[in-house]
Chains A and B, each alone.
Chain A
């Protein structure tokens, strides 16, 4: 018995079947996530079509440079994640750990930039609530910022959870738990991470780029 076969749960025939079930299970979860974020995107679409000017004006307050940099940071984190999974497939223990740690670093950079952006919005009085728009801003923009904070906030929460999961997987990878026969947990963590990246790929143009011209 190789070490990997001990990773086989008793209700699966073999590791291949176990891996396919793991992957399909994660995709099933991600589909519920599509519809979870889908509700937010639907709400955004409805209100933007009703108040296009307020949304365009609200969008102007967002920092397009920081937004673009953050998009690049997140895409880079997806690359390091993909490379981490690749290293796990080949059974490279150290390489897997390093790429997973890099993914965490880029994830934290993203969250740091996001925090700076939130701070700017706070200073400009753009947090939805009673104090919104005291510096002369049109209060209709509150609707845009409600969606901005809700959508980027939910996305950031997913990032925080993702950083935690990647951290745990990186620890197990460093301990040598994964082999070319058994790396399902690394693979599905990658699926989750890339999904969160995709959500941002849509959030970026919808929040930062409307009404720029």
Chain B
């Protein structure tokens, strides 16, 4: 079998990085950065998730087909969020009365 076997030191290193990021994200939450707080928290979460997917879930060593599947899943989730925010954030941009059923 030509399966890639990840060295335990790699797992321990990823584990340490994940713990450090957990501490950082909990600490940063107490600093007021305005709207950036959510951005920083989500950025750290995305980095952590990426590390888990690439190393713990072996995506880095997986076939191209697996990459396509995982990318498709993430892409569809982004479509969900993009269209949601396209709706939510643009509400109120047009004055009331403009649209269906407007008279005059």
| A interface residues with partner B (beta carbon < 8 Å) | 15-16, 19-20, 23-24, 27-28, 30-31, 34-35, 38-39, 41-42, 45-46, 49-50, 64, 68, 71-72, 75-76, 78-79, 81-83, 86, 89-90, 180-181, 187, 190-191, 194-195, 197-198, 201-202, 204-206, 208-210, 212-213
Contact = CB atoms under 8 A, between A and B. Distances in A.
Given A24-B65, A86-B11, A209-B25, A197 B41 contact: no
Nearest to B91: A50
A82 B85 contact: no
B38 A38 contact: no
Nearest to A48: B38
Nearest to A198: B49
Closest 4 pairs (CB-CB, A-B)? A31-B73, A205-B41, A209-B29, A213-B32
Contacts of B6: 82, 86
A20 B66 CA distance: 9
Contacts of B15: 75-76, 78-79
B22 A89 contact: no
Nearest to B70: A27
The prevalent SS among residues of B at the interface is helix
Given A79-B15, A201-B45, A205-B45, A212 B56 contact: no
Interface string B64-104: 01100110111011001100110011000000000000000
Given A31-B69, A210-B38, A45 B84 contact: yes
Contacts of A78: 15, 18, 52, 56
A34 B73 CA distance: 7
A42 B84 contact: yes
B12 A79 contact: yes
B49 to A, nearest CB: 5
Interface size class of B (residues with CB under 8 A): 35 or more
Interface of B: 1-3, 5-6, 8, 11-12, 15, 18-19, 22-23, 25-26, 29-33, 37-38, 41-42, 44-45, 48-49, 52-53, 55-58, 62-63, 65-66, 69-70, 72-74, 76-77, 80-81, 84-85, 88-89
B42 A27 contact: no
A209 B32 contact: no
5 contacts: A24-B65, A34-B76, A42-B84, A49-B89, A75-B15
B5 A24 contact: no
A27 B66 contact: yes
A78 B14 CA distance: 11
B66 A23 contact: yes
